[in-house]
Amino acid sequence: MDFSALAKFVKTLGKDYGIPGCDISVYYNHINVFRAKSGYTSKFNKIRISNKDLYFLHSGAKIMCCVAVIILAQRYKLSLKDKVSEYIPNFDESYTIKDMIKKYSSVSSLEEADTDFSFENMKKIVEVVSGTDFDSYIYENITKPLKMKSTTFTLNDKNRKRINKQYDFDTQSNNTVECDTDVEELHKRSSGCLITTVNDYARFCETICGEGMSQNGYRLLSPESVDMLINELIYNETDKNDAFVCIGYNGSLVLIDVKKKITIVYAQHLMNMGVKQLEMYPILRKTVYECIGVDTWSKGYNLFA
């Protein structure tokens, strides 16, 4: 494997695509084979990106909520065939938990307030069935065993100051502009917004890629549950079997290729991306695959090529 082409590409993202700062981790077969960051967490103050920087993950984080529900199904605490109305009063009785996962994962995070298939209702199902609050459940069953020390759905005093600055892309001037919006307001804009580092979320995603087994030997999901999650349940931006691809609101990329054993977690904080920025994603993914040398990139993996 030779990652020199990928390292070079990441360094050009600021100049060629107007990305103020980014962080990327690539796993192959349970091994972290590439780790890089480029640019600034704050261009105005000239503060460089660090491994400790926190990012808002939107759609790319939905898979964690879906896993939270599937863990309960694995433990026979609920069935995916159960009616949602068994756990949420007055919910439409025609929908099952399986339907809920499919619908929730397909709705834009910014539109969730207007739908029953929201993060809040996914959260409510977990809390009713587990008998504990959502944050505690996620900690005990996902982040703690996977040694994810900086991941939570809750904004607090400990993580507030570590969150990467948010930027907007101005299509008229073709420049990125640092937002002065309060962090709390940014977090409230999207229901179910996860706060995490690239290192943390890569641990979670590579566990899914390892058919539910983490790098440190923790069994999060069974191989059968992973297969069902990726190929039957969660909304996906690829038509390839055994693979999950999602690009989030701020431009984050999550790719889990169970068949090829490749995981990519890429984070940035840039809203309102234009056509130019969207062009970088197929190049990024193609470069990762070519550097690993597994095979060449296929259009079936992505919507933008």
Distance CA 146, CA 164 (A): 23
Ordered structural domains, the chain, with CATH: 4-150+164-294 (3.40.710.10)
Amino acid at 272: N
CA distances from 158 to 23, 155, 185 (A): 21, 8, 17
Tens digits of per-residue pLDDT, 55-70?
999 888 899 999 999 9
Pair 78, 129: CB distance under 8 Å: yes
CA distance 265 to 205: 8
pLDDT digits 0-9 by tens, 118-167:
999 999 999 999 999 999 999 999 999 999 999 999 988 888 888 888 88
pLDDT at 222: 97
- pLDDT band of 295, cuts 50, 70, 90: low
Residue 93 pLDDT exceeds 80: yes
pLDDT attached to residue 147? 96
Q: What is the pLDDT of residue 115?
A: 85
Helices 62-74/198-209 angle, 10° precision: 50
* Model pLDDT, residue 275: 77
The answer, yes or no, to whether residue 301 has pLDDT greater than 70, is: no
Nearest Cα to 78, choosing from 97, 104, 101, 92? 97
- 234-292 pLDDT, tens per residue? 988 888 889 999 988 888 999 999 999 999 999 998 887 777 788 889 899 999 999 99
d(CA 166, CA 265): 18
Give 112's Cβ-side CA count (13 Å radius): 25
The residue assigned the tokens 């597994």 is 294
Model pLDDT for residues 179-223, shown as the tens digit of each residue: 777 788 877 777 788 999 999 999 999 999 999 999 989 999 999
Highest averaged pLDDT of the listed ranges 41-55, 67-81, 146-160:
67-81
Note the pLDDT of residue 196.
Answer: 95
User: Given a cut of 60, is residue 35 above it in pLDDT?
Assistant: yes
The per-residue pLDDT for 211 is 97
